[in-house]
Structure 1
Amino acid sequence: MELAELLLTSTHGIAFTGAGISTPSGIPDFRGPQGLWKKYPQELSSASYLKSDPRGFWEFYAFRLRAMDSVSPNPAHYALAELERMGLIKYVITQNIDGLHQDAGSRNVIELHGTSRRFYCEECGRQFERREVLEKVQSGELPPRCQCGGLIRPAVVLFDEPVHRIGEALTIAQESDLVLVVGSSLTVYPANLIPQVVKENGGRLVIINMEETPLDHVADLVIRERVEEVLPKTVKRVKEIVGLSN
């Protein structure tokens, strides 16, 4: 059965997305052949490193912050938003922190690893938008500080910190009869439990990823093509089947 038919025959489909959906937008992935962790140690993005060397952490994070500042959604993001509008995708559960799903129009988004668009002071809790923090960083303020003198940090899940909203995501997975894994290596725990739970509860598993994943052998459909090509074609095919094509 093709992807469009799987979507149309499901009653509670969800998408689970990883870095691979945002690489076409110009954001480097983490574990691919040219991934970020092939060039830099993961420890640079850990809570313990932020605590021990705030300046070093921010020298690294400023690079990531600038990389995400001018990016836009790509056709894969827009296709998932369209599938949500059609009622075929109920939630997007994402490992990404870039906010591109929301920019593309997705409304029910669960960000397991937080967001790079908000920051807060570790001392007083004051919230900051990305533009404010980027201006501080670009002016040479490393690490950026709050007016109270406290350290500003990103509202993301760093290594050695607990994942956000994982309980809610697992509950949704238990209720779902289809999960589209889009651009994820499925190697990061506990986020990679989401598609496993769907499959273990009798749902169907579709994996769209250029590289092999640990769940390929149990997937109902594995597509080794570019996500920015597969998903728009799938939306078009869905519309053809239901008679909405132009």
Structure 2
Amino acid sequence: MVCAYKKCNKDLSEDMSRVEVRTILPKSLSKALKSKFFVDWKTSGEASFHQECWDVILKSSRSWKKKPNIPHISGEEKILIKEAAKTAEFFNSVEHIKKEAKRVAKMISSARHCVAFTGAGISTSAGIGDYRGKSGKWTKMDQESIDVSSVFEHGDGEPSRKKMKTEETKNEEDEEGSDDYEEEDGVPYESLRPTYTHEALKKLLELGNLKYIISQNGDGLHTLSGIPQDKISELHGNVFAEKCERCGKQYDRPYYVMDDIGSQYFEELEDYRKTDVKKPAYAVKCERCGLSHRTGKKCEDKKCRGYLIDTIINFGDMLEDRIFDGAMDNATECDVMLCLGSTLKVAPASDLVESIMDKGRLVICNRQPTHLDKECSKQGRDGLPLGCRIFGDCDFLMKEVMAAVLTDTELKTWEAGSVDRRIKYDSMRVKQQD
């Protein structure tokens, strides 16, 4: 791999500090125009740079006057760089992460009440996508709505937003063989297994170094790894848990419980005013999120027999008081918080992280900047940072942290146990029978 900055074009290894981005390329791009670019964009719009090279590119793209020692970038490429900057993912060097991991291990070991706050980034290595990375769900949706062709045709202006296609247009294109609306097949939730980070947090909990987990994830991987219910707040629910809408009794299942058909019915009615989906008899539209939470089953208590609903919190839904209160209580007690795989943009979950700023140490590890990064670098009396900010993959960081927390023998034994743990996970997941 080489740096995409053409004036550099030197080797770029995964051991180095680097930046990875993705932009939106026009459907037709002449070789003559492409040859004038300072970035060697891949056909997918992706590019990787040395940190210092990306800094030069970004600085140049924001300058409208020619300046010495920086390239004069064309208006067309400035648009590409502007869009790329929205997706930028940063990676510290391997050497830096190893050094910082030892500091993090000491923080965890000396903490009175260490809490982990986890986001989608800890599950990407399990096979589930994130939301705001360069290949994230929201990033793709946003980029698909932008048209840069007009900018390239006229040489100025801003990219325009594409009009959303109607259901009729969609059907016409489907008949013509268009794959614009083809839905990507993700990994079935039942096939997902805990990552190294999930298992490391479970081990730290067993050792007593970690007291509690606050998670934004609904994939069920924390509970599958063995985290007990009284040690975790799954703020946004769990796709393997359903509860009775009448008596509140919860049922933990080995299969995905959500009824996507009912939600699809209401979603298509809202978007297109019509749908070919047959509404399930039990489906009821939620007044807050507009979808259906009912799963199609009923409470097993014969005296109740209320409808079961999923526990997932959709946009518009309210967090469950009991779960949020547990998270708040532990955030209040927390003196070291590990924020792993989250951009900290979703409130009120992110408010829990902010609550530690004046009384504890903050560790953040993910690929993108957050609004709390500066909090990690606050200095203590010794002049050293109280917290730690690491850009990169959570699994890599946690491998180094565990190597510092455990002895060589303990680490070897624990990691070797992953085979047996995987067998156990497999036995705890089955696909729901139709």
Could you say which TM-score interval applies, normalised by the shorter chain?
Answer: 0.7 to 0.9
* Higher RCO, 1 vs 2 (CA within 8 Å, ≥6 residues apart): 1
Residue in 2 aligned with 1:196? 354
Is the contact between residue 65 and residue 134 of structure 1 (CA under 8 Å) also seen in structure 2? Answer: no
Alignment of 1:55-134 (within 5 A): 67-107=188-228, 108-119=231-242, 129=253, 131=255, 133=257
Does structure 1 residue 156 correspond to structure 2 residue 257?
no
Is the contact between residue 97 and residue 116 of structure 1 (CA under 8 Å) also seen in structure 2? Answer: yes
TM-score by length of 2: 0.45
Does structure 1 residue 238 correspond to structure 2 residue 405?
yes
Residue in 1 aligned with 2:366? 209
Deviation per residue, 1:212-244 (Å, 9 max, x gap): 111001111011121111112211211139x95
Residue in 2 aligned with 1:51? none
Is the contact between residue 216 and residue 235 of structure 2 (CA under 8 Å) also seen in structure 1? Answer: yes
Residue in 2 aligned with 1:54? none
Does structure 1 residue 29 correspond to structure 2 residue 130?
yes
Q: CA deviation at 1:195?
A: 1.5
For residue 88 of structure 1, give the secondary structure of its aligned residue in structure 2: coil
Query: In structure 1, how many angstroms separate the alpha carbons of the residues matched to 2:211 and 2:278?
Result: 39
Closer/same/farther in 2, CA of residues 35 and 121 from structure 1, 3 Å limit: farther
For residue 192 of structure 1, give the secondary structure of its aligned residue in structure 2: helix
Is the contact between residue 13 and residue 176 of structure 1 (CA under 8 Å) also seen in structure 2? Answer: yes
Residue in 1 aligned with 2:12? none
Alignment of 1:170-189 (within 5 A): 170-189=328-347
Residue in 2 aligned with 1:52? none
| Equivalent AA in structure 2 for residue 95 of structure 1 | Q
Residue in 1 aligned with 2:416? none
| Equivalent AA in structure 2 for residue 68 of structure 1 | Y
Closer/same/farther in 2, CA of residues 174 and 127 from structure 1, 3 Å limit: closer
Structure 2 runs not aligned, ≥5 long: 1-101, 143-182, 266-276, 285-291, 296-309, 377-386, 413-434
Query: In structure 2, how many angstroms separate the alpha carbons of the residues matched to 1:143 and 1:92?
Result: 40
Is the contact between residue 119 and residue 130 of structure 1 (CA under 8 Å) also seen in structure 2? Answer: no
Query: In structure 2, how many angstroms separate the alpha carbons of the residues matched to 1:12 and 1:124?
Result: 34
Q: CA deviation at 1:40?
A: 4.2
Structure 1 runs not aligned, ≥5 long: 42-61
| Equivalent AA in structure 2 for residue 161 of structure 1 | D
Query: In structure 2, how many angstroms separate the alpha carbons of the residues matched to 1:124 and 1:174?
Result: 30
For residue 222 of structure 1, give the secondary structure of its aligned residue in structure 2: strand
Query: In structure 2, how many angstroms separate the alpha carbons of the residues matched to 1:64 and 1:121?
Result: 30
Is the contact between residue 19 and residue 183 of structure 1 (CA under 8 Å) also seen in structure 2? Answer: yes
For residue 114 of structure 1, give the secondary structure of its aligned residue in structure 2: coil
Closer/same/farther in 2, CA of residues 123 and 169 from structure 1, 3 Å limit: closer
For residue 116 of structure 1, give the secondary structure of its aligned residue in structure 2: coil
Residue in 2 aligned with 1:227? 394
Q: Quick check: which has more Rg, 1 or 2? A: 2
Deviation per residue, 1:11-31 (Å, 9 max, x gap): 100000000001110111112
Q: CA deviation at 1:189?
A: 0.4
Closer/same/farther in 2, CA of residues 168 and 99 from structure 1, 3 Å limit: same
The count of residues paired between Structure 1 and Structure 2 equals 222
For residue 209 of structure 2, give the secondary structure of its aligned residue in structure 1: coil
| Equivalent AA in structure 1 for residue 234 of structure 2 | E
For residue 205 of structure 1, give the secondary structure of its aligned residue in structure 2: strand
| Equivalent AA in structure 1 for residue 350 of structure 2 | N
TM-score by length of 1: 0.77
Query: In structure 2, how many angstroms separate the alpha carbons of the residues matched to 1:156 and 1:17?
Result: 16
For residue 15 of structure 1, give the secondary structure of its aligned residue in structure 2: strand
Closer/same/farther in 2, CA of residues 125 and 40 from structure 1, 3 Å limit: farther
Is the contact between residue 82 and residue 235 of structure 1 (CA under 8 Å) also seen in structure 2? Answer: no
Deviation per residue, 1:80-133 (Å, 9 max, x gap): 100101101101100000110111122211100111113468799897857475
- Tell me the percent identity: 31
Structure (1 or 2) with the greater helix fraction: 1
